[in-house]
Amino acid sequence: MRLYLKYFAIHLKSQMQYKVSFFLTALSQFAVSFTAFLGVYFMFARFNAVDGFTYEQTLLCFSTMLMAFSLAEVFARGFDLFPQMLGSGEFDRALVRPRNIIFQVLAAKMDFTRLGRLLQAAAALCYAIPKSGVVWAWDKIFTLCAMVICGSIVFFSLFLIYAALSFFTVEGLEFMNVLTDGGREFGRYPFSIYGENILRFLTFVVPLALFQYYPLLYLLDRMQNKFFMFTPWVSLVLLIPGCAFFRFGLRRYKSTGS
Amino acid sequence: MIALKNITKTFRVAKRQAGFGRAVKALFSREYETVRALTDVSFTVSDGEMVGYIGPNGAGKSTTVKIMCGVLTPDSGACEIDGRVPWKNRIAHAREIGVVFGQRSQLWWDVPVTDSFALIRDIYKVDGKKYQKNLDELTELLDLSEILKTPARNLSLGQRMRCEIAASLLHAPKTLFLDEPTIGLDAVSKLAVRQFIKRLNAENGTTVLLTTHDMQDIEALTERMMLIGKGRILLDGSLAELKTRSPDPAASSEEIVAALYKEYGI
């Protein structure tokens, strides 16, 4: 953990070197997700509710999703850029250093320009929390925190799987973006609006709904069952195949070298 | 001690053929070709020895180095470095070796070199006193005092290579692998790097294995050289032995090696 902070400091120093670029990128990141926010806003300017969710409730959903995603992106950017790391031979360097590989990839890249997105998520969350009509008792606060934390770990696992895939193929990984960026975009609305089948897919295959839809129902008192409070923690099982797949890819890399 | 025994390594490479039709076909069924990168490579290097490893491009030098560092796993054969199998216990092994890949940088591009060094210290868990001692020594020997505060991106290639070598030695490894450490350097930097490697080996007894294309590196540094071609060790001996193989006593070592490449058809 202390070593992670040291890496953190060196990345911060590096990115401070390019101030203008840093602020412009952060600003554009902010702008991009702001359009997503506008999308939700205009939608509700025409309709009062989507699938029974009001504007403020949807905003709560939108901002937790965005928060989870941007946290994962700030910290796990190394996995996002993993194909480049493999190509440039930077990964071989990681292999000759006496530290855990996943840790090293995690620490290899940190992207603070993504803070623009994080900031917006925080702002939207600050607006939605009092307006959503939720009575914030301890169990609700706990659930909301779990949604954000587990959500970012799920996105992290998806990044990990994406990285592991690049051990096998250099290009054609765009389809993973359907799950990560797509998950973020579609996650603006509660997943139930996309229909039964999509919801089932997002529950049992790629468990995005476990930290978005079900705990949201609990927050909004649509479900009283305490189980829904804990579904975000269930979604963490994705980390197991994620790590296993990465290790498998690594073994293959060591025997093929490309 | 480094001991390799019957190391064999093959790569599967997709066959690519020219032409659009073939490219489309390759999309569906790809033909693979097995390339033998290393065949039956065996050698030992004793503690404190310095060995030059030469061969043309694509002969398998880097593959051998990568196997000894634990980056690659061979298909068959045994490799032990001070009793450790590199690809079995990667972390314990990494702590005891130093590696310089001449073509790539391990320094963080945008921060002063000292900051990179400090992070490497923490990665290797070198304790403060020992680190300071090593750093002072390396700074003096490699003449780094002027450039330590400069960001790596502003260094010339020669300056950067000196920093790369220092970075690989901060944890005082017993074994050092240098993969083309003098590539692209000017005469002054080359001499400085050579002189340093020689001193390191003589004074600290560090085992050094370096790959190079530059025969002068070999002449200046090592008693023993190994010649590899097409994945096989063709020659393992001293430079003097090599010279006796040449019919022309006045031939430079460069010419002798070129003649050898021809003789072995590599």
Closest Cα of chain A to B71: distance in Å?
6
DSSP A179-200: HTHHHHHHTTS-GGGG-HHHHH
A95–B118: do the CB atoms touch at under 8 Å? no
Kindly report the average pLDDT of chain A as a whole number.
Answer: 88
Contact A77, A100 (CB under 8 A): no
Q: Where are the alpha helices (DSSP H) in chain A?
A: 2-16, 19-46, 55-75, 77-80, 82-88, 90-95, 101-108, 115-131, 138-165, 175-179, 181-186, 196-204, 208-211, 213-219, 227-234, 239-256
- Say if B94 is an interface residue toward chain A (CB within 8 Å): yes
Nearest to B111 among A14, A88, A90 (CB): A14
CB within 8 Å of chain A, chain B residues 52-71: 63, 66, 69-71
B108–A255: do the CB atoms touch at under 8 Å? no
Instruction: Give the strands of the sheet with B76-81, arranged side by side.
Output: B32-45, B2-14, B76-81
Distance CA A214, CA A190 (A): 9
Evaluate if residue B150 carries a pLDDT over 90. Answer: yes
Distance CA B145, CA A122 (A): 46
Is B180 among the domain residues? yes
The per-residue pLDDT for range A24-56, each reduced to its tens digit, is 888 888 888 888 788 888 888 888 788 888 888
- Say if B14 is an interface residue toward chain A (CB within 8 Å): no
Residue count (chain A): 258
B119–A7: do the CB atoms touch at under 8 Å? yes
Distance CA B100, CA B162 (A): 10
DSSP label at residue B43: E
Distance CA A163, CA A249 (A): 9
Q: What are phi and psi of A246, to 5 degrees?
A: -65, -45
Report the chain B residue with the minimal C-alpha distance to residue A256: B11
Q: For chain A (length 258 residues), average pLDDT per consecutive 10?
A: 88 85 84 82 82 88 92 87 86 92 90 84 91 89 94 94 84 74 86 90 91 92 88 94 93 76
- Say if B227 is an interface residue toward chain A (CB within 8 Å): no
> Terminal CA-to-CA distance of chain B, rounded, Å?
30
The per-residue pLDDT for range A70-106, each reduced to its tens digit, is 999 888 888 888 888 888 888 999 999 999 999 999 9
Reduced to 3 states (helix: H, G, I; strand: E, B; else coil), residue B58 is coil
Q: Is this prediction's pTM over 0.90?
A: no
> Taking an 8 Å Cβ-Cβ cutoff, which residues of chain A contact chain B?
2-3, 6-7, 10, 13-15, 17-18, 88-90, 92-93, 95-100, 251, 254-258
Closest Cα of chain B to A3: distance in Å?
7
CA-CA distances (angstroms) from residue B160 to A26, B103, B172? 32, 11, 19
A98–B73: do the CB atoms touch at under 8 Å? no
Q: Which domain holds residue B202?
A: 47-96+173-264
- Say if B262 is an interface residue toward chain A (CB within 8 Å): no
B87–A254: do the CB atoms touch at under 8 Å? yes
Residues of B in contact with A93 (CB under 8 A): 101, 104, 106
A98–B124: do the CB atoms touch at under 8 Å? yes
Give the pLDDT band (50/70/90) at residue B254: confident
Nearest to B123 among A13, A97, A258 (CB): A97
Evaluate if residue B115 carries a pLDDT over 90. Answer: yes
The per-residue pLDDT for range B218-238, each reduced to its tens digit, is 888 888 999 998 889 988 988
The partner residues of B8 in beta bridges, in order of sequence, read B76
Q: Which amino acid is at B135?
A: L
Overall domain count for chain B: 1
Evaluate if residue B248 carries a pLDDT over 80. Answer: no
B73–A2: do the CB atoms touch at under 8 Å? no
Distance CA B48, CA B116 (A): 28
CA-CA distances (angstroms) from residue B77 to A170, A254, B2, B5, B175? 30, 15, 14, 6, 21
Average pLDDT over residues B193-207: 92
| The token pair that represents B157 in the structure block | 């290639």
Evaluate if residue B99 carries a pLDDT over 70. Answer: yes
What ipTM is given for this predicted complex? 0.86
Q: Which amino acid is at A134?
A: V
- What pLDDT sits at residue B52? 93
Is B108 among the domain residues? no
Report the chain A residue with the minimal C-alpha distance to residue B113: A10
Kindly report the average pLDDT of chain B as a whole number.
Answer: 88
- Count of CA atoms in the C-beta half-sphere (13 A) of A3: 16
B110–A14: do the CB atoms touch at under 8 Å? yes
The partner residues of A239 in beta bridges, in order of sequence, read none
Cβ neighbours for B98, distance < 8 A, ≥ 6 positions apart: B168, B169, B171, B173, B175, B176, B177
Give the pLDDT band (50/70/90) at residue B93: very high
Q: How big is the A-B interface in CB pairs under 8 Å?
A: 76
Give the pLDDT band (50/70/90) at residue B201: very high
CB within 8 Å of chain A, chain B residues 143-162: 151
Contact B143, B65 (CB under 8 A): no
Is B233 among the domain residues? yes
Distance CA B247, CA B163 (A): 42
Is B36 among the domain residues? no
CATH number of the domain to which B90 belongs: 3.40.50.300
Is B37 among the domain residues? no
State percent of chain A over pLDDT 70.
Answer: 98
Closest Cα of chain B to A251: distance in Å?
9
Residues of A in contact with B178 (CB under 8 A): none
Report the chain B residue with the minimal C-alpha distance to residue A13: B111
Distance CA B135, CA B46 (A): 27
